[in-house]
A and B are shown apart, each in its own frame.
Chain A
Amino acid sequence: MSVNSKQCFFKQNQINHIDYKDIEILKRFINPHGRILSSKKTGVCAKNQRKLANAIKLARFMSLMPYVAR
């Protein structure tokens, strides 16, 4: 599937506010090492990618997600 044909997950599901407590959703956007996946791979739009990155960083601070894994 090409990048252009992918749609932003958050737009598709009408999620306007990305919550740092929503670990089930955030987990989809990190790799096994705990690093944030690029929007190229996930198809998330630039606006939501910024929100997503912030939410993941807050979740890491609160120890809900790891800074590094494996």
Chain B
Amino acid sequence: MTKESSKDNTKVYEVGFHIAPFVGEENIAHEVSHIKDVLDSMRAEVISEDFPRLRALAYPIAKIIKGDKKISTEAYFGWVKFELATDKIEAFKKEIEKLDNVIRFLVITTVKENTLYGAKFVQDKEAKRVEKTEKKSEVKEEVNEAELDKSIENLVV
């Protein structure tokens, strides 16, 4: 019973975070390990993750780091999906807030399954475009052949 009740108290969460660009690509793994260490210390079960990648921000984000205001227009965005006890999530948020190089983060409840479909739709769109252009070129060729036949017949007559 105790095991069941403890399982009932867990939820699937996801933390999305921006790591400051001045950290450098070689130190990103180190920064991610900080977040994972916090998760390990709280006995969270990591479900899936995406390694941070540099991307342009829609608007600049400012953060005061050691008394110095730093404005970032790009950042390394990554996320980790994990299962954690509901009573520990507030403590987790406070721990992440303490990390200086994490300029912004967001914790949400989510589901275990993959929720990203964007790439699939982009691929589908591209495939459709290619099909359309191929069809158009085929149709054009057919018309050309018919025109050629007609013109040849006219010439013969």
**Which positions in A face B, CB cutoff 8 Å?**
13, 15-25, 58, 60-67
Contacts and interface: CB of A to CB of B under 8 A. Distances in A.
Given A23-B118, A25-B118, A64-B58, A17 B110 contact: yes
19 contacts: A13-B121, A17-B110, A18-B115, A19-B115, A19-B117, A20-B106, A21-B79, A24-B122, A25-B118, A25-B121, A58-B106, A60-B58, A61-B104, A62-B77, A63-B59, A63-B104, A64-B77, A66-B58, A67-B58
Contacts of A16: 111
A51 to B, nearest CB: 11
Interface string B97-141: 000000010101011010111110110000000000000000000
A63 B121 contact: no
Interface residues of B, number: 22
Interface of B: 16, 18, 57-59, 61, 75, 77, 79, 104, 106, 108, 110-111, 113, 115-119, 121-122
A21 B117 CA distance: 10
A16 B79 CA distance: 20
Contacts of B113: 17
A21 B58 contact: no
B118 A20 contact: no
A12 B87 CA distance: 37
Given A62-B16, A62-B104, A22 B58 contact: no
B119 A24 contact: yes
Nearest to B17: A62
Contact of A22 (B61, B75, B110, B117): B117
Contacts of A23: 118
A62 B18 contact: yes
B16 to A, nearest CB: 6
Contact of B116 (A19, A58, A62): A19
B106 A67 contact: no
Nearest to B111: A17
Given A15-B117, A62-B16, A62-B18, A20 B108 contact: yes
Contacts of B59: 63, 66-67
